[in-house]
Structure 1
Amino acid sequence: MLTSDHWIATPGGRLFARSWTPEGSQANPTIVLFHDSLGCVELWREFPAALAGTVGHRVVAYDRLGFGRSDPRQGPLAMGFMDEEARESVPALVAALGLDRIVPFGHSVGGAMAVSTAARLPERCAAVVTVAAQAFVEDRTREGLQAAKRAFAEPGQVERLARYHGDKARWVLDTWIDTWLSPEFKDWTLDANLARVGCPVLAIHGDRDEYGSVRHPERIAALARGASRMRIIEACGHVPHREAPEAVLGAVADFLTSAVPEI
């Protein structure tokens, strides 16, 4: 397995990315990982290497601006920040790394960014995978955020985030909570972008996800125009790729083999 690090220039600053390329891998498609609201490349841990080894294709993960090793970002996120990611960061990433066909693969809010990428760049996207993604804001989403807000108020919690985000940790935390709990965001949905996705979609979700019920993968699978399926993992919370990695790897491998001609 070849692992390499990359720095990518974008209009807003530099992005840090890492790629995992198994020996003898095919050139297309490359799986691009979009992290969650508190995530970064390092917090994917062993999963990207395991995914690359399982499917036999290159995997790329990157830190969004303001996260991990990427450059800081100032101020709150705009309401359309998920579309902004697909519009600005993803084109810079694919150009810098020479990616042709990709499979956007996103966890939590990263799942919405993966869908936005497929909606904006249909010619590049062979398929989409979402894991614990939100398709709208439901009561469980807001309740989970309120619980997280209380938990992160405890001493030492921000310092834990700082191990991955450095001086950006407080911005990372406040941006996540303030955006999702804002009155302006309560009516947000992924519906419009889902309706523009024509490639196959796999929506993976844990049945005990504290930030969203199974209505989310049901909605994702129902509204995307391409051949779609969902996989509900039992006794699993919001991080299926860490809580049930073998189930996630198996579901993704089966999906890509059956749904993507290049695989």
Structure 2
Amino acid sequence: MWKDGESVMFRADGGWLEGKCHGPSPDTAPTIMMLHEGLGCVDLWRDFPRKLAEATRYGVFTYSRRGYGASDPAALPRPVDYMTREAVEVLPEVLGAIGFTEGILLGHSDGASIAAIYAGSIQDHRVRGLVLMAPHFFTEPMGLSAIAKAREAYETGDLRARLSKYHANVDNAFRGWNDAWLDPAFEHWNIEEVIAYIRVPVLAIQGVQDQYGTAAQIAALKEQSYNPVDVAMLENCGHAPFVEQPDRTLALLTEFVERLDRIEAAEPEAA
């Protein structure tokens, strides 16, 4: 189904999901699988996936999870462990649907948590590295406060109108994310246990002014990981590095990919 620069609809998670392909297909080059944030979708990555494919010469695939973009709606309310379910039940289907052979998981916010859960829960030798932008491993009061403010902006401000440009069922998209995070049971959500089981190099990128998470998230990743973790804390940057500092973010990703390529090229010689 891979066609460079074209959108596709494919079956996964019991419904139809939208995706978009950039660059070479998985049978000709490694693939970067991009996993969006809690209110993201294919279109909200903007032109970053295309630029990433051009810079790395990897294929890049983006898709909208159920409830987002043009994908089928999700069943609500989402369970507190919805990110774990996305990682261990849905993501394997998506990787299979595109014919993923090797590459990198790149996630932002909720997507970063999903990528980390996958790498720490499923032994998949096809995954060569992780890029985690603004990952969440546990809840923080300041993050929950920001999510509560997002609910107010959605109900009384212009957030609903802005999001409706990107999501076919905007209430499904917003409520699925916001109601789960503001569920009292979610205050105890914690996925730190997966960190120790990640067996590939990690690049973590976070804005110093991220309104949804502090540097404590990155510190937990560094302290509990047994594998190399490179960290980039970006000044004058909030929750979305690929939007707020796209050139710097692209340079970091390109360097990470090149380093993985060098490591893989050297492995046969060292064996």
Q: Same fold (TM over 0.5)?
A: yes
Aligned-partner residue type, residue 23 of structure 2: T
Identity over aligned residues, as a percent?
Answer: 30
Structure 1 match to 2:77: 76
Equivalent-residue separation in structure 2 for 1:11 and 1:209 (angstroms): 31
Q: 1:139 aligns with which of 125, 141, 144?
A: 141
Equivalent-residue separation in structure 2 for 1:157 and 1:5 (angstroms): 26
Q: Segments of 4+ in structure 1 off by > 4 A?
A: none
Bigger Cα displacement from structure 2, 65-74 vs 114-123: 114-123
Structure 2's unaligned 5+ residue stretches are 266-271
Q: 1:162 aligns with which of 137, 161, 164?
A: 164
Give the conservation status (yes or no) of the 8 Å contact 2:27–2:99.
no
Give the conservation status (yes or no) of the 8 Å contact 2:74–2:176.
no
Give the conservation status (yes or no) of the 8 Å contact 1:22–1:53.
no
What is the CA-CA distance between 1:22 and the residue it aligns to?
5.5
What is the CA-CA distance between 1:28 and the residue it aligns to?
4.0
SS at match of 2:5: strand
Bigger Cα displacement from structure 2, 25-34 vs 221-230: 25-34
Equivalent-residue separation in structure 2 for 1:249 and 1:74 (angstroms): 35
Aligned-partner residue type, residue 231 of structure 2: M
Equivalent-residue separation in structure 1 for 2:171 and 2:179 (angstroms): 12
Equivalent-residue separation in structure 1 for 2:184 and 2:109 (angstroms): 20
What is the CA-CA distance between 1:11 and the residue it aligns to?
4.2
Equivalent-residue separation in structure 1 for 2:13 and 2:159 (angstroms): 32
Matched, 1:14 2:6: no
Matched, 1:187 2:188: yes
Give the conservation status (yes or no) of the 8 Å contact 2:27–2:101.
no
1:1-263 equivalent positions in 2, closer than 5 A: 2-21=4-23, 27-119=28-120, 120-166=122-168, 168-260=169-261, 261-262=263-264
Equivalent-residue separation in structure 1 for 2:223 and 2:80 (angstroms): 24
Give the conservation status (yes or no) of the 8 Å contact 1:131–1:205.
yes
Equivalent-residue separation in structure 1 for 2:149 and 2:94 (angstroms): 34
Equivalent-residue separation in structure 2 for 1:125 and 1:139 (angstroms): 33
Bigger Cα displacement from structure 2, 77-86 vs 65-74: 77-86
TM-score normalised per structure 1: 0.92
Equivalent-residue separation in structure 2 for 1:220 and 1:26 (angstroms): 32
Q: 1:210 to 1:155 in 2, by over 3 A?
A: closer
What is the CA-CA distance between 1:99 and the residue it aligns to?
0.9
SS at match of 2:128: coil
TM-score normalised per structure 2: 0.90
Q: 1:4 to 1:221 in 2, by over 3 A?
A: farther
Equivalent-residue separation in structure 1 for 2:251 and 2:212 (angstroms): 24
Give the conservation status (yes or no) of the 8 Å contact 1:66–1:172.
yes
Equivalent-residue separation in structure 2 for 1:262 and 1:58 (angstroms): 18
Aligned-partner residue type, residue 113 of structure 1: I
SS at match of 1:130: strand
What's the RMSD between the two structures over aligned residues? 2.0
Aligned-partner residue type, residue 131 of structure 1: M
Equivalences, count: 261
**Alpha-carbon deviations, 1:24-68, whole Å to 9, x = none?**
x99342100000111100000010011111111000000001111
